[in-house]
Amino acid sequence: MTNSALSKLYLIGVQDNNASALKHFIQLSVGVNRTRNVNNYIQINNLKISNEDFNNLTKETIIEIEAIVPKSMGV
């Protein structure tokens, strides 16, 4: 429902050249984006490696991964 209301507010702002509506759209859409959760990880088949897991790897392991991945991608 929030997305629908924001869409209508945006349309009012653009179609009617209503600066106030666009200002409210920007303020409200920023608030909506702050509530998102971002879960970054690498997944290979069923193996998931989170950022925390990756940071716990040894330097040697990271160097090995950096060498293997480009070779397997033909880079």
| Whole-number pLDDT of residue 75 | 66
| Whole-number pLDDT of residue 73 | 75
Reply yes or no on whether the pLDDT at 26 is more than 60.
yes
| Whole-number pLDDT of residue 60 | 94
| Whole-number pLDDT of residue 58 | 93
Enter the pTM of the model.
Answer: 0.41
Query: What is the DSSP track for 12-29?
Result: HHHHTT-HHHHHHHHHHH
Distance CA 1, CA 8 (A): 11
Reply yes or no on whether the pLDDT at 8 is more than 70.
yes
